[in-house]
Amino acid sequence: MSQPVALGTPSVRTQEWRRPTREGKRYFVRTFGCQMNEHDSERIAGLFEADGMRPAESVGEADVVFVNTCTIRENADNRLYGTLGHLKSVKDASPGSRLVVGGCAAQKDRDLVRDRAPWVDVVLGTHNLDRILALLDHAEEWGPVTEILDEPVGAVASDLPTRREQQHAAWVSIQTGCNNTCTFCIVPSVRGQEISRRPGDVIREVRALAADGVLEVTLLGQNVNTYGRDLALDGKRSPIFADLLRRVGEVDGIERVRFTSPHPADMKEDVALAMAETPAVCEQLHLPLQSGSRRILSRMHRGYTPERFLERLAMMREHVPDLTVSTDIIVGFPGETEEDFQATLDVVGEARFDSAFMFIFSPRPGTAAAGLEDEFIDPDVVQERFQRLLALQSGISREQNEGWVGRELSALSEGPSEKDPNRTTMRTRGGRLLHVDGDVPEGTFADVRVDGAATFYLTGSLL
């Protein structure tokens, strides 16, 4: 482990971190990866602003550039080093600027980032976000520094100041790390073992967000179903996720509560009941399937069978009407046969997901699946299978959306459409994108009639 530089640990209280030292300078944050990374980037931006900086419109205008990395697939690594290659020219044009690399790829690759991109000023991992200002100080005084910790020290990330991209919506981290052993996943290596936040701390954060005008919160964890298991003492019953859902949903001012991601093996009826009985909790569920083959699921160490997955999904739908369900699916896991892939198609056809994130298997160094080189599938075969799955799911997604045409519902504005400023992008309780003509201010609810459906979105008119 690279040892921390001896700069002292800052205070852990919001914007009382220290006297601002970069007043008037500008920063730019580039984020790759999941919602957890997006939330980490909001914290980094919050720290930069607490230090007197303001956001820049582009990397060329920034005094400090932070690249928050992902390593879930090989393509993410390639994008990182391609981005760092581009940023070398930016840094050459502005020698006084500082380039910082953090996140999961930095945690995994450690000194490799500096070996491949020696022009980077600071490399830090996933456990020491709170150290970024001290590490920048070190780089400015003594030169480039790398600090990768194997476990958290000092301030917990949830105590950091945050700059949200949307004023009406916020991420709330309830848990970090993961105790599962999925053979394809690098997350436990870069995020560590599962650590739950105290429920009282979560509720206090949600109340503070509501007081700041936030209407919608999304609870984040690698496996939210197991939230609280590590908090139990002396055999006492630990806080469980269903309890937390109910408590968050009762906070005054919070109109919508979402969460991601649960694990099918740990999905229990108490969560379904909490969703059904707590009005603020939205009818949205992301339930990763990964494969429809019993044999492949076993090799993945997923802890459930296709039959059990479908039983849990049916249970959730029974308790929560109009439930919108998304999933993750991996195509081409080592040893996958045509029979295995057909089993995946069969489960997808039966489950009828509203949407799916579909990926081609990418071996991650350090995972068990990466050692199965002898069973890697021919890329042409994998690509053909991927296209078949994409075609099946796209048809199902469109049919599921068409079922909403003619219905009237309440949607929350996310502001002007990126493609057409004369339209507003809204989101339903189930998380479906809905485009309407006209201007609805961001963070405003409106009643809408659904008039049309496409594969990835709905269209409607204001009532």
Residue 155 confidence (pLDDT): 42
User: Given this model, what pLDDT does residue 413 score?
Assistant: 97
pLDDT band (50, 70, 90) for residue 428? very high
Render pLDDT for 368-404 as a digit per residue (tens, 0 to 9): 999 999 999 999 999 999 999 999 999 999 999 999 9
Element spanning 28, H or E: strand 26-31
pLDDT of residue 81: 86
Same domain, 354 and 370: yes
224 and 314 housed in the same domain: no
Position 158 pLDDT exceeds 60 = no
pLDDT band, residue 13 (cuts 50/70/90):
very low
Q: Do residues 108 and 40 both lie within one domain?
A: yes
Say how many domains are in the chain.
4
Out of 120, 147, 174, pick the residue that ends a domain: 147
Collapsed DSSP state (helix, strand, coil) of residue 185: coil
Residue 14 lies in a domain: no
pLDDT at 77: 76
Q: What is the mean pLDDT of residues 451-460?
A: 97
More confident residue, 9 or 95: 95
What is the pLDDT, as a whole number, of residue 163? 85
CATH of the domain at 58: 3.40.50.12160
386 plus 412 within the same structural domain:
no
Task: Give the torsion sign (CA, 432, 436, 440, 445).
Answer: negative
Q: Is residue 19 part of a domain?
A: no
- In this structure, what CATH number is given to the domain that contains residue 456? 2.40.50.140
Name the most confidently modeled range: 61-75, 197-211, 274-288: 274-288
Q: At what angle do helices 379-402 and 338-351 cross, to 10 degrees?
A: 10
Question: Helix (H, G, I), strand (E, B), or coil: what is residue 13?
Answer: coil
Q: Are residues 215 and 268 in the same domain?
A: yes
Report pLDDT digits (tens) over 315-374. 999 999 999 999 999 999 999 999 999 999 999 999 999 999 999 999 988 899 999 999
Do the bridges between strand 145-147 and strand 122-124 make them parallel or antiparallel, or are there none, so unpaired? parallel
Specify if 365 maps to a domain: yes
Mean pLDDT within 275-291: 98
Checking if the pLDDT of 292 tops 60, the result is yes
Banded pLDDT at 7 (limits 50, 70, 90):
very low
30 and 143 co-located in one domain = yes
Q: Which domain holds residue 310?
A: 284-289+302-402
- Tell me the pLDDT band of 456, cut-offs 50, 70 and 90: very high
Distance CA 440, CA 462 (A): 9
Domain match, 168 and 278 both: yes
Q: Is 93 in the same domain as 107?
A: yes
pLDDT at 6: 33
Domain boundary among 122, 147, 172: 147
Tell whether the model's pLDDT for residue 8 goes beyond 70. no
Judge if the upstream peptide bond of residue 94 is cis by omega within 30 degrees of 0: no
What SS3 class is residue 458? Answer: strand
The token pair at 260 is 């991601």
Tokens of 331: 């195509």
2 in any annotated domain: no
CA distances from 418 to 51, 149, 298 (A): 31, 39, 42
User: How far apart (Å, rounded) are the C-alpha atoms in residues 156 and 309?
Assistant: 34
CB 196 within 8 A of CB 230: yes
pLDDT band at 230 (very low <50, low <70, confident <90, very high): confident
> Residues 416, 350: one domain?
no
Q: Angle CA(427)–CA(428)–CA(433) in degrees, nearest 5? A: 45
Q: How far is CA 315 from the centre of its chain?
A: 25
Position with higher pLDDT, 391 vs 420: 391
State mean pLDDT over 437-451: 96
Residue 118 per-residue DSSP state: T
Q: Given this model, what pLDDT does residue 10 score?
A: 33
- DSSP reduced 3-state for 54: strand
Of 282, 312, 341, which residue constitutes the final position of a domain?
Answer: 282
What is the mean predicted confidence (pLDDT) over 264-293? 97
Is 246 a member of any domain?
yes
Instruction: With a cut of 60, say whether residue 451 has pLDDT above it.
Output: yes
Q: Which of 116-130, 220-234, 250-264, 320-334 has the lowest mean pLDDT?
A: 220-234
Output b/e per residue, 48-61; b: 16+ Cβ within 10 A: bbbbebeebeebee
25-54 tens-digit pLDDT: 999 999 988 888 898 899 999 999 999 999
Q: What is the pLDDT of residue 151?
A: 76
Claim to verify: residue 209 and residue 277 sit in the same structural domain: yes
Predicted confidence at residue 191, as pLDDT, reads 82
> Which residue has better confidence, 460 or 9?
460
Cβ–Cβ under 8 Å, residues 65 and 90? yes
The two three-digit tokens of residue 434, written as one number:
């809905």
Task: Mark whether 313 and 201 lie in a shared domain.
Answer: no
Query: Quick one: 226 and 258 in the same domain?
Result: yes
CA 268 to the chain's CA centroid: 22
What CATH number did the domain enclosing 391 receive?
A: 3.30.750.200
**155 is a domain residue:** no
Mean pLDDT of the chain: 90
Task: Judge whether residue 233 has pLDDT over 80.
Answer: no
- Domain assignment present for residue 216? The answer is yes
Does a structural domain hold residue 249?
yes
